[in-house]
A and B are shown apart, each in its own frame.
Chain A
Amino acid sequence: MRQRARFLRNTAVGGAALTLVLTLSACGGGGSDSAGGDDGRIHVLVYGDSANKVEKRIIATFNKTSEVKAVLDTIPGADYQAKLQTIINSEQAPDVFFNWGGGSIRPFVDAGLLMPLDDFIAKDPDLKDKFLPTVFESAEVDGKPYGIPMRGTQPVLLFHNKKVLKETGVEPPKTWDDMLAAVGKLKAKGVTPIALGGGDKWPTLMWFEYLYDRVAGPGLLQKALAGDKDVWASADSRKALGMIRELADAGAFGTHYDSVKFTDQGSPTLLATGKAGFELMGSWEYATQQESHPKFAERDLGHSAFPAVDGGKGDPADLVGNTNNFYSVLKKTKHPEAVAEFLKLQYSEESVKAQLAIGNVPTTTDTEKHLDAAADPDFARSQLKMVEKAPAFQLSWDQAYPQTATVGMHQAVQQFLNGGLDEDGFIKAMQALPTS
């Protein structure tokens, strides 16, 4: 009995000591040999998805000639922003990372973590000149460039089911009146006029982004972002809200859009199966349909620009969406020269062609030359033309605003559309959003 007790006691003490040792060594290990510390390589952190194969390839190309090697680290999509925020000021911070420009990097700039790219551009002007200016500018913060475009542009377009529209005798709408008429006809035929993944909330936001642009012009959001809260209560703002209400009241989105999501294939399937006529969505709708409904994507998936609004201040060629993805550089990188060389590869022919092949449309000035390499040259050409011609390309509001505004903004648009908030309530909610 005694012996057993002593044995147990020894085990317990040993266990406690072991626990301590393990904990301490875990802490120690974190500092010395983890990913981002200086291990003589540059770490490139990207959003983990199917486009990673191109990034892997570019890094392989880079490593062939560079003395300082690069490594690709990925974080699965949904967690990207949260994880980035937690590691960016730690030992594990990458040297170069993927982002959406605008508000998505502003907090990092404000915290003094990012390197302005002026010096890189002074040494190699192509880093700026090889990209479309409207796109390049959306990663400028306080007039300084912080991002080099990578991957492709993702404008929001009005997609439609050609077959459904044809059967109903509806043309892709050119004006807002066309849109309302189309909604009436589709509804009369028993089809949900517009598929909307309201459960995700950001698809709802797209309608606000476009109507505000068409009615008030791109200036309204710029002013709002600069801290002018009065614009939300302006006559233009109220007019845009009235039009959204009119559309919803006409039954354009059906009745259960808040229970539908884009991210679980809900709304795209509605469009592909002919249960809905239109869907306003980023250009990734094409890739989504190609993967889950390849026949529909090939034959019946059409797209057009968002309709014009009579008497509105916005140019009908204006776009909203994700202008592009960007690579930004951390100030504390130990290998700025190697990073500059790596960034140059983003406008290389190899990179442009590889992106096109997986359906992305890079925004370099010579993308057009390589369009034949695209997965669908017609769709790529149409997108590129729209982006080149757009007088203004508004970055999605939830990316243009600081991250801290996202939840409030998403709740406001969802509640306005479903009637939980009235005009004044929505205006108040938007005015309450932080802009810096």
Chain B
Amino acid sequence: MTTRSGTGVSRPGFVWAAPAAVFFGLFALLPLVLVVVLSFAEWNGLSSPRFSGLGNWQRLFDDPVMLKSLWLSVLLTVLGVVVQSPLSILLGVWAAGHQRNRAVLSAIYFVPLLLSAAAVSVLWRAVLDPNFGVPAHAEWLVGDGNLFGTQSSAIGVLAFVSAWQFTPLHTLIHQGAARAVPQVLYQAAQIDGAGKVRQFFHITLPQLRNSIITSMILMVVGGLTTFDTVLILTQGGPGTDTTISAYYMYQKAFKNFDYGTASAIGVLLVLVATVISLIVVRLSGYDRMRSTMEGL
């Protein structure tokens, strides 16, 4: 109440938020509610939905593919974080510098970011063709080239292609953050006799904390909702070996026309993603938003 009389600048009213709120309500909240309702019904898109209680949920919990798909989603997400984080931090810090050719090389390196995930997947599918792609000439590396035919190699391909496409985005985030690190810190470290490596671990990394958390949350959310790369590269195969939850949901809805079960998977994904995001935020202290500039 003090703000209103004290400063004379009123806080923006609800109207300010109205356009965004309407959009969010219509295109995010309303569908979410409908999906929750549908998850308790049987519906093939032809006749009217029929209420079926917990039937879909019961079947999902007994479905080995569902459980496997959750593990696969988590595995791919973890692989994404493990592969992309170190790479993007190193590249980002390098790109923040002032070396020769840096600008040109960075620009080239950001190209994958400009391509759509679908285009990237189609491209890699062709490059990795066992008869007419790279594997045909690299037997020492990939054996007979059956990259999409075994679980481990198919997961490897998915992790690799995601990394190829999304590392540039995270590099960009870290580059920005690394540029913002005050030079005085490095100058002080130099006076204290710290080398490049020490400076990196004791100044750069701690200073990048907030950007690392941001990029990690993006990776987790992106990893759990990965869909296009799986659709184009592996179609969840071989068998169900790369059927992650988001793809399983698509299969249930648009291949099996079982919209009830698909909705239940959707709800489950929302819950899992929310819980994981909360955990990441809590563990990292992101919610407290501790400044990296304290004492400066």
Contacts and interface: CB of A to CB of B under 8 A. Distances in A.
Given A16-B19, A404-B256, A23 B146 contact: no
Given A82-B254, A411-B240, A107 B149 contact: no
Contacts of B18: 12-13, 15-16
A216 B51 CA distance: 41
Interface of B: 13, 15-16, 18-19, 22-23, 26, 44-47, 125-126, 128-132, 144-149, 235, 237-241, 251, 254-258
Interface stretch (A44-52, A84-92, A95-103): A84-92
A19 B23 contact: yes
A12 B22 contact: no
Interface string A392-428: 0000000000011011000100110010110000000
Nearest to A13: B15
A256 B238 contact: no
Contacts of A23: 26
Contact of B257 (A107, A257, A269, A420): A107
A275 B46 contact: no
B254 to A, nearest CB: 5
A406 B241 CA distance: 17
A266 B146 CA distance: 13
Given A12-B18, A275-B131, 5 more contacts: A12-B16, A404-B257, A407-B256, A418-B149, A418-B239
Contact of A256 (B22, B146, B237, B240): B146
Interface residues of A, number: 43
A208 interface: no
Nearest to B131: A270
Nearest to B65: A411
A259 B147 contact: yes
Interface in A194-239: 198-199, 201
A138 B47 CA distance: 25
Interface string A92-126: 00000000000000011001010000000000000
Contacts of B16: 8-9, 12
A86 B45 contact: yes
A415 B23 CA distance: 45
Contacts of B129: 259-260, 264, 266
Given A9-B15, A82-B254, A256 B46 contact: no
B148 A415 contact: no
Interface in A42-100: 82, 85-86, 88-89
**5 nearest A-B residue pairs (beta carbon):** A258-B149, A256-B146, A259-B148, A111-B46, A16-B18
B200 to A, nearest CB: 40
A181 interface: no
Contacts of B251: 407
Contacts of B235: 199, 201
30 contacts: A12-B16, A12-B19, A13-B18, A15-B19, A16-B18, A16-B19, A20-B22, A82-B255, A85-B44, A85-B46, A85-B257, A86-B45, A88-B46, A107-B257, A111-B47, A255-B146, A257-B149, A258-B146, A259-B129, A259-B130, A259-B149, A260-B130, A264-B125, A266-B131, A403-B255, A404-B44, A407-B255, A420-B238, A420-B239, A421-B239
Interface string A6-29: 001100110110011001000000
A257 B147 CA distance: 10
Of A89, A259, A264, most B-chain CB atoms within 10 Å: A259
Contacts, number: 110
A428 B255 CA distance: 21
Given A199-B237, A201-B237, A414-B239, A113 B257 contact: no
A9 to B, nearest CB: 6
Contacts of B255: 82, 403, 406-407
A113 B46 contact: yes
A258 B132 CA distance: 15
A263 B143 CA distance: 24
Contacts of B128: 259
B148 A85 contact: no
Nearest to B144: A255
A264 B44 CA distance: 31
Contacts of B132: 266, 269
Contacts of A8: 16
A202 to B, nearest CB: 11
Contacts of B241: 420
Given A9-B16, A259-B148, A415 B131 contact: no
B149 A415 contact: no
Contacts of B26: 23
Contacts of A270: 131
A258 B22 CA distance: 47
Contacts of A421: 239
Interface string A235-277: 0000000000000000000111111100010100110000100
A19 B23 CA distance: 8
Contacts of A257: 149
A111 B149 CA distance: 39
Contacts of A404: 44, 256-258
A177 to B, nearest CB: 28
Nearest to B234: A199
Nearest to A200: B235
Contacts of B145: 256, 259
Given A86-B45, A107-B44, A411-B240, A256 B149 contact: yes
Contacts of A108: 46
